[in-house]
């Protein structure tokens, strides 16, 4: 009887470990190994609530690889995937705190969620990300270098400012950055 109980306990531990691995795998983008959009949305909601409670700032950076469709069309999907992987690794390595979250937002877009970070801190990080990606010197046949445009937004626990507006503000800022070059 004791042996059976021990075996059941072992099976329960194995099942819990498998469940944890499955949950982690369902949160990760297969190509970039960053968190996926679904996980980002879940964490954004949690961090938004925390920012409301604590009245601390929450910043969001959205990055988009410039002219990615043309790059992908000219150099192929393998080169495009390589550019996505290198970009995601650079974003991840640029983050300095365990609470910061990088995710693949969609296609060639990435998001960086920065709890307890004001606009000044987020701007410094956004500039560093853009600079680091430019320094990668990912180039295609025509020596056209891969760059990113970034937009950011920030809130300070303002309940009247919904988090979808925070995302929209970052998207608009990113669009302005693209236009500005």
DSSP strand pairing (58-65 vs 101-106): unpaired
Known catalytic residue: 108? yes
Cα 57 → chain centroid: 18
Active-site annotation holder among 108, 135, 156, 172: 108
Q: Is 137 left (phi over 0), alpha (psi -120 to 50) or beta?
A: left
CA proximity to 144, closest of 101, 80, 81:
80
Sign of CA dihedral 13, 19, 21, 27: negative
Q: For residue 28, list its beta bridge partners.
A: 35
- Spell 121-136 as b/e; 16+ CB within 10 A means b: ebbebbeebbebbeee
**Active centre residues (catalytic):** 108
């Amino acid at each position: 009887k004791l042996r059976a109980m021990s075996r059941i306990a072992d099976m329960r531990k194995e099942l819990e470990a498998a469940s944890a691995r499955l949950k982690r795998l369902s949160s990760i983008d297969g190509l970039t190994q960053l968190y996926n959009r679904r996980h980002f949305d879940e964490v954004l909601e949690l961090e938004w609530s925390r920012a409301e409670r604590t009245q601390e700032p929450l910043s969001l950076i959205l990055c988009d690889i410039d002219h990615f469709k043309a790059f992908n069309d000219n150099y192929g999907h393998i080169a495009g995937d390589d550019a996505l992987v290198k970009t995601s690794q650079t974003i991840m390595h640029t983050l300095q705190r365990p609470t910061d979250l990088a995710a693949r937002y969609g296609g060639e877009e990435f998001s960086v969620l920065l709890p307890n970070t004001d606009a000044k801190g987020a701007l410094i990080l956004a500039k560093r990300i853009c600079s680091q990606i430019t320094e990668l010197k990912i180039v295609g046949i025509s020596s056209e270098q891969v760059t990113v445009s970034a937009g950011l937004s920030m809130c300070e626990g303002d309940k009247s400012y919904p988090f979808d507006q925070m995302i929209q503000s970052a998207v608009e800022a990113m669009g302005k950055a693209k236009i500005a070059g």
